């Protein structure tokens, strides 16, 4: 009897639904019972064999069976979806009473701290920050700075040569030449950057270190302007009571040339371990730009004059933070870096 078949289909479907695990399995049961090739559909296709007077009753029984199975399917599906939501919410629960995790953030390297302070001081004086290439031509690193071919500074023991004419710059003064060649006068700039020299690594030397070069080119610039600028720089960097002293020196690209000392900011010039009892600390080299350097860059030395200076960035960091070994800056020892 068809009614018995329908009852059997309904019971079997409900049993499978009750034992199903997951929505995918539930969908498989729906297709196998109610789909185009399902069991109920097969019974509907056999209606042609049913006596005409019994067809309405059989059709009603098929519909009632379909509705009963669909009802159980929908109820079971709703329970499964609710359980999945509850499980997801439970997994995403945040205990707001737990202490927050402390974010570990980095901080500036001592060199960066020193550089930012130098840039702040000179930008406040109206200087611009210029950059130049680390891989440089011999002309810009030496010849244009009045360093002839037979100068000791060009010895391969001091300079890293890539080829006969290409090298790793030994000073950021090469950036000054690039700026002068642009012909945009007046010039008032500093050029921080990394430089390279074939030095042995020790407490005060490294084959790679950083310099900050300064250059001013304008009409009627004098050595007094140089002294006043660097004296103000020293006071802003080391304190308002800092004094400066200039000693005659020689650089190929400046004439006259000098080295500048500052009064020891630890003892006030009285003499201590930090300044080795002298009361003064050497800080940088400077001088008036050599007329020949101006000429080679297309600037008339009869109309324009200028001054230049160069300071080692690591030296500023070592002095300012009383570090006695330059190697500490590059060893990445977190115990050392955390102090800054």
User: What confidence score (pLDDT) does residue 306 get?
Assistant: 96
| 121 pLDDT more than 90 | yes
Proportion of the chain above pLDDT 70, given as a percent: 90
What count of other Cβ atoms lies within 10 Å of the Cβ of residue 172? 26
**Averaged over 201-229, what is the pLDDT?**
92
Residue scoring higher pLDDT (322 or 52): 322
Q: What is the mean pLDDT of residues 293-315?
A: 94
Position 40 scores a pLDDT of 65
pLDDT, tens only, 144-194: 999 888 877 676 568 889 988 899 999 999 999 999 999 899 999 999 999
Read off the tokens for 57: 């009753």
**Average pLDDT in the 326-332 region?**
85
Which one is predicted more confidently, 217 or 81?
A: 217
pLDDT value at residue 335:
81
Cβ-Cβ contacts under 8 Å for 196 (sequence gap 6 or more):
134, 160, 168, 169, 170, 207, 208
Average pLDDT, the chain: 85
pLDDT at site 17: 74
Task: Residue 195: name the closest of 175, 180, 214 by CA.
Answer: 175
CB 200 within 8 A of CB 167: no
Confidence grade of residue 74 (pLDDT, cut at 50, 70, 90):
confident
The packing angle between helices 223-238 and 110-124, to 10°, is 130
- For every residue of 180-248, which 3-state class applies, written as one string? HHCCCCCEEEEEEEEEECCCCCCCCCCCEEEEEEEEEEECCCCHHHHHHHHHHHHHHHHCCCCCEEEEE
Mean pLDDT across 109-115: 89
CA–CA gap between residue 180 and residue 40 (Å, rounded): 93
pLDDT of residue 2: 66
Q: Give me the mean pLDDT over the 126-136 stretch.
A: 94
Q: For the chain, what percent of residues have pLDDT higher than 90? A: 43
pLDDT for 134: 94
pTM attached to this predicted model? 0.66
The pLDDT assigned to 63 comes to 73
Angstrom distance (rounded) from CA 153 to CA 142? 8
pLDDT for res 42:
66
Antiparallel, parallel or unpaired: β 128-129 and 187-196: parallel
pLDDT at position 56 is 72
Distance CA 191, CA 173 (A): 8
Lowest-pLDDT range of 178-187, 192-201, 268-277, 292-301: 268-277
């Amino acid at each position: 009897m068809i009614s018995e078949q329908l009852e059997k289909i309904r019971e079997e479907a409900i049993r499978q639904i009750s034992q199903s695990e997951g929505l995918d399995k539930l969908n498989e049961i729906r297709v196998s019972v109610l789909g185009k090739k399902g069991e109920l559909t097969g019974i509907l296709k056999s209606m042609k064999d049913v006596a005409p007077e019994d067809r309405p009753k059989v059709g009603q029984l098929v519909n009632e069976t379909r509705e009963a199975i669909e009802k159980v399917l929908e109820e079971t599906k709703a329970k499964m979806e609710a359980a999945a939501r509850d499980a997801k919410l439970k997994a995403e629960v945040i205990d707001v009473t737990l202490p927050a995790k402390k974010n570990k953030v980095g901080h500036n390297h001592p060199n960066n701290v020193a550089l930012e302070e130098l840039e702040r001081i000179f930008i406040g004086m109206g200087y611009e920050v210029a950059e130049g290439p680390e891989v440089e031509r011999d002309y810009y690193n030496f010849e244009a700075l009045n360093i002839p071919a037979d100068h000791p500074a060009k010895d391969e023991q001091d300079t890293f040569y890539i080829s006969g004419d290409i090298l790793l710059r030994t000073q950021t003064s090469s950036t000054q030449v690039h700026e002068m060649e642009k012909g945009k006068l007046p010039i008032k700039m500093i050029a921080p950057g990394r430089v390279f020299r074939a030095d042995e690594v020790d407490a005060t030397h490294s084959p790679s270190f950083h310099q900050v070069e300064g250059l001013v080119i304008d009409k009627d610039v004098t050595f007094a302007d140089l002294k006043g600028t660097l004296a103000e720089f020293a006071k802003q960097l080391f304190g308002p009571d800092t004094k400066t002293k200039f000693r005659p020196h020689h650089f190929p690209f400046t004439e006259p040339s000098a080295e500048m000392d500052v009064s020891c900011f630890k003892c006030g010039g009285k003499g201590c371990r930090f300044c080795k009892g002298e009361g003064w600390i050497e800080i940088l080299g400077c001088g008036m730009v050599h007329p020949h350097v101006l000429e080679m860059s297309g600037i008339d030395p009869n109309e324009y004059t200028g001054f230049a200076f160069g300071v080692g960035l690591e030296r500023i960091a070592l002095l300012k933070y009383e570090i006695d070994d330059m190697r500490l800056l590059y060893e990445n020892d977190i115990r050392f870096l955390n102090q800054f």
